[in-house]
Structure 1
Amino acid sequence: MEPPRNIKEVQSLTERVAALNRFVSKATDKCLPFFKVLKKAQALANFIVEFTPNLGDLDEVNEDKKWVVYVDSSSKLHAGGIGVILKSPEGDKLKYTACLWYQITNNKVEYEALLKGLKLAKSLRAELIVVQGDSQLIMGQVNGICEAKEEWMKKYLSKVKRLIKKFKEASFHQVPKEENMEANALAKVASIEWSMDELDEVQYMPSIDLPEV
């Protein structure tokens, strides 16, 4: 019998042992030989305890496998820029910049940065991610703390949630601006017209108006 490999398997085995113990406990009132079964059940329980990793250790293993995704944006009069930094579990960084070559508001460009960060993380086959951005509103909406009232916000939020489902685990954190300076610097450069030759991508319309791929 293989030892449990994750929290769900630990919980499943624990429930099975508990059910077996309840059955054996009732059976021993009727028939003495069932005491032998009880001993076997206890042996199985001891096996689980011996070979089950500490849940805290499982959390530490998961932490070691998480990607950190930093997202930020910048908006000018006729264009916007997004900056994304993906940090691998080993500490390697991938930087990405894109110019949104159309008129766009601050909150819309923040959502574009978040969408791009999620898409890039998925393209790198990341399964566990921690997303950090300095927009309190956007992070609040994704976490269900703030309500998306405008129709365009609902569309962006819906698109984000569809992407989230593609990951095993995803958490979103609002951080102070000073803790997101590197992504912010990339976004500012991306919003400047003369830097377009140095960008990774130029986008000419909002993501919510593009067909699903």
Structure 2
Amino acid sequence: MIVGLRLDRLLNVEEVLVKGDSKLVIDQIRGNCKVKIETLMKYHAKGVSIAQCFKRIAFEHIPREKNEEADRLSRLATTYYSDLSKGICDQPAYEEDSILNITDMT
């Protein structure tokens, strides 16, 4: 989510609908639930911070069973790029430099 929101900011997107299959994460980012795991607090704080940059943002929970296409695409992307060396996800998403300039991935 954080990487997607950062990319939206770079593209000057003003309104965002974030869809996720983790009800807990969606409830946490909405402020309906507390983040209790210390290691996840940095991700939550960064997500909230970035979300405040948009003119309008909404978060929607999509049950996993209704999200089969996204799951297939994510598995396909993971498989396709699994032979790449470290670089795309070599830093936690809450760190500022976690998005790299990707010019050619072929």
CA RMSD of aligned residues (A): 2.2
Ranked by relative contact order (alpha carbons within 8 Å, sequence separation 6 or more), the top structure is: 2
TM norm structure 2: 0.75
Q: Is the 8 A contact 1:129 1:169 kept in 2?
A: yes
What is the aligned counterpart of 2:42 among 155, 159, 172?
155
**How far apart in 1 are the matches of 2:75 and 2:46?**
25
* Residues 136 and 197 of structure 1, relative CA distance in 2, 3 Å threshold: closer
**Partner SS state of residue 44, structure 2:** helix
Name the count of aligned residue pairs.
95
**Partner SS state of residue 120, structure 1:** helix
Offset at residue 198 of structure 1 (A) = 8.6
**Partner SS state of residue 202, structure 1:** coil
* Residues 179 and 198 of structure 1, relative CA distance in 2, 3 Å threshold: farther
Offset at residue 156 of structure 1 (A) = 0.5
**Please, which runs of 5 or more residues in structure 2 have no aligned partner?**
98-106
Misfit runs of 4+, over 6 Å: none
**Please, which runs of 5 or more residues in structure 1 have no aligned partner?**
1-113
TM norm structure 1: 0.40
> 1:58-115 deviations in whole A, cap 9, x for unaligned?
xxxxxxxxxxxxxxxxxxxxxxxxxxxxxxxxxxxxxxxxxxxxxxxxxxxxxxxx11
Letter in 2 for 1:140: D
Match of 1:202 in 2: 88
Letter in 2 for 1:128: E
Q: Which structure carries more helix by proportion?
A: 1
Match of 1:176 in 2: 63
Q: Which structure carries more strand by proportion?
A: 1
